[in-house]
Amino acid sequence: MTVQQTQGIKPDLGLNEDATNTVVTILQRLLADEHVLYMKLRNYHWNVTGPHFRALHQLFEEQYTQLATTIDLIAERIRSYGAFALGTMQNMIEQARLEESPHNTLPARDMVANLVTDHETMVRNLRQDIDQVDDVNDDGAEDFLTGLLQTHQEMAWMLRTYLEG
Ligand SMILES: [Fe+2]
């Protein structure tokens, strides 16, 4: 992916251009993944059915509300490196590692299982992303991505407990 730099003043963050591109590329991909997951949570929030409707309807809303904040933080962090943030749905689909869920009529249990898989995929991908930003010595990015990993790990657990019930 090409990283689109702003025409403005380049920030002097102690990272060379390659390092900056590495980190921004990782952040753009995460921004895309979070959008896919955000949309899926909204889809399931709207369309979940069954005896656990109320609990899942609320849990999905809690998670997409939290991800909305996460999405904003990722995009604004991209800007702080002097790059532009991706901002179209097409960008998100093209860059995301997560897959969309074409179904809005899944049984509630399958919705939850699909979300657990996505959160766990995020955790595993983030481990690799963290290794990469560690390699270019971006401590700030490493800390930020570690926070994201913890968020997704906790969200996966919240959903997984439902499957164990
Ligand atoms: Fe709602």
Distance 49 CA to ligand 1 centre (A): 14
Q: Is residue 5 part of a domain?
A: no
Contact call for residues 63 and 71 (beta carbons, < 8 A)? no
Q: Residue 61 C-alpha to ligand 1 middle, in angstroms?
A: 7
Supply the CATH number for residue 87's domain.
1.20.1260.10
Q: Is residue 1 domain-resident?
A: no
Q: Kindly list the distances between the CA atom of residue 132 and the CA atoms of 27, 78, 147, 158, in Å, as whole numbers in the listed order.
A: 12, 16, 16, 28
pLDDT tens for 70-99 read 999 999 999 999 999 999 999 999 999 999
**Domain span at 95:** 17-164
Q: How far is the CA of 147 from the centre of ligand 1 (A)?
A: 26
Report the domain count for the chain: 1
Asked, for residue 66, whether it belongs to a domain, the answer is yes
Q: Mind listing the pLDDT tens digit for each residue in 96-120?
A: 999 998 787 899 999 999 999 999 9
pTM, entire model: 0.94
CA of 146 to the centre of ligand 1 (A): 29
